[in-house]
Amino acid sequence: MKLSGTSLLLLEDEPLLRRRVKSHLEKLGVEVTAAETIAEAREALRNLSFDFALFDVNLPDGRSLTLFEEKSVPASVVAVVMTAEGGVAGAVEAMRRGAADYLVKPFDLDELSVRLARARRDRGTQRGEQHRKETQGTAADSFFFGSALKPLEQQLEKILGADRRVQGALPPVLIEGETGTGKTTLARWLHQRGPRSDGPLIEVNCSALPETLAESELFGHERGAFTDAKEARIGLLEAAEGGTVFLDELPSLSLGVQAKLLKAIEDRTIRRVGGNRTLAIDGRIIAATNADLRVMVTEGRFREDLLQRLDLFRVRIPPLRERGEDIVPLAEALAVRIAKNYGLPPRKIPPLGQKRLRGYRWPGNVRELAHEIERSLVFDDDQLTFSSLRISEVSDTAAKAWVSPEFKIPDAGFNLEAAIDAMIKRALSQTEENVSAAARLLGVTRDYIRYRLKEDRDQSSSESSESKG
């Protein structure tokens, strides 16, 4: 981990050691503030923000443990204490109160750099673990490829092969897929099999971040950056040191945050909210979207330069309705796992249940399938017949009968685009202009319908302008 761009409070009363440590760290790009007494250190901690603190245990006006006891050292500051031989007990006590590590004097200055970097990495891991516990469970699901997703699996293996050959920062990955197709599970799969599997995996649901807090959560903030910023806090991009950041529902971020994210990806650096120091980051970015980013670019809702940067390693997870016969073995794999959660023996899916699975369009994809299996295990006496899916057989028949069997394409030709627009308008009329409901009826995404409607409006506007001219 690089220390360049960080800041450190050095509390040491011995002039020679203070000068040597200060000079060494400043050559590494660390901004060092020196203090000789606990009172000076307390004042510096009150008025300035630091990434690190390096404290001697015994000072002329007392012991530096006092700073931990009175909570003058913010939780975001990575503190290392120094002690003379025989004073290890005091250093251990400091670690109990919040210090990250200790050094016994005399020590090698290169060892100091290593200890600071390691302590900060450990603190970042703790931040990532805290976020993970707050936002997700601990189980890492396996991704089911089956025969239909073999091309996707081969594409991912090529990405992993490229990752192993890269010396340095890994390029970002963009995962496209409808809601419920398994984008989060695939991101976990990619992280666990990649060269950074030993590092943290931090998952961020961008749609769950309030716009006012998104920048602070991703990039961190300094103390006093806003009203509730009582102490500095590292961001999730910074906490993912040596690991991966998964940004789910990426388009939910505002254009301003998108611009800052682009700079972070390109420069591998960030600047905390309210800060003026540039900090190096080393986390792999995996982003996911259930919307067509190219359409969002045309609508001005997503930055084109960010899309271009993310579009290097792009993979698409097909919706469940496009996976053919894979739905049954996928359902059986899910049934085994869900039955185990309920303390039930494994269940085979009978022919009737398999027929209903194949006949349903699964607008909610794998997530809906898992919920349906769980519901069937609980309410259908473990038989997995999926009685609630009977309507799908009628729906499938209706889908095939949307046009009269006697219809023939005219010899003069057929305007398919106009027919698609007419079908969309009919679905909207049937759902009282509810775009989401119309999308479910037609088996397409909301963004597709919005795109078609926008194209229709633009064309009508253009024709109107030409007629007036």
CATH number for the domain harbouring residue 39: 3.40.50.2300
Q: Which residue has the higher pLDDT, 413 or 284?
A: 284
Check if the beta carbon of residue 229 is closer than 8 Å to that of residue 221: yes
The position carrying tokens 């009150």 is 46
Q: Which of 69-78, 121-130, 275-284, 381-390 has the lowest mean pLDDT?
A: 121-130
Q: For position 275, what pLDDT does the model report?
A: 83
Confidence of residue 417 (pLDDT cuts 50, 70, 90): confident
CATH number at residue 355: 1.10.8.60
DSSP state of 273: B
**Across residues 264-291, what is the average pLDDT?**
90
Task: Judge if 150 and 113 occupy the same domain.
Answer: no
Check if the beta carbon of residue 83 is closer than 8 Å to that of residue 99: no
- pLDDT tens digits, 309-366: 998 899 999 999 888 889 999 999 999 889 888 888 888 899 888 888 888 888 889 9
Q: For position 432, what pLDDT does the model report?
A: 82
Where do the DSSP E strands lie in 136-283?
Answer: 173-176, 201-205, 220-221, 233-234, 244-248, 269-270, 279-280
Task: Judge if 167 and 78 occupy the same domain.
Answer: no
Confidence of residue 462 (pLDDT cuts 50, 70, 90): low
Identity of the highest mean pLDDT range in 84-93, 165-174, 254-263, 333-342: 254-263
Residues 6 or more apart from 405 whose CB is under 8 A from it?
none
Q: Which of 107, 132, 157 is the C-terminal boundary of a domain?
A: 132
- Quote the CA–CA distance of 1 and 238 in Å, as a whole number: 11
Check if the beta carbon of residue 316 is closer than 8 Å to that of residue 174: no
Q: Which of 63, 98, 132 is the C-terminal boundary of a domain?
A: 132
Task: Judge if 171 and 198 occupy the same domain.
Answer: yes
Task: Judge if 166 and 306 occupy the same domain.
Answer: yes
- pLDDT of 375 > 80? The answer is yes
- Quote the CA–CA distance of 52 and 80 in Å, as a whole number: 8
Domains in the chain, number = 4
Residue 411 lies in a domain: no
Residue 467 lies in a domain: no
- pLDDT tens digits, 389-410: 754 443 445 555 566 666 777 8
**Across residues 363-380, what is the average pLDDT?**
88
- Quote the CA–CA distance of 121 and 234 in Å, as a whole number: 11
Residue 155's domain spans which residues?
Answer: 142-316
Confidence of residue 465 (pLDDT cuts 50, 70, 90): low
Residue 175 lies in a domain: yes
Residue 272 lies in a domain: yes
Closest CA to 369 of 235, 225, 154, 180: 180
Q: Which of 6-10, 50-54, 230-234 has the lowest mean pLDDT?
A: 230-234
**Across residues 104-123, what is the average pLDDT?**
83
Q: For position 392, what pLDDT does the model report?
A: 41
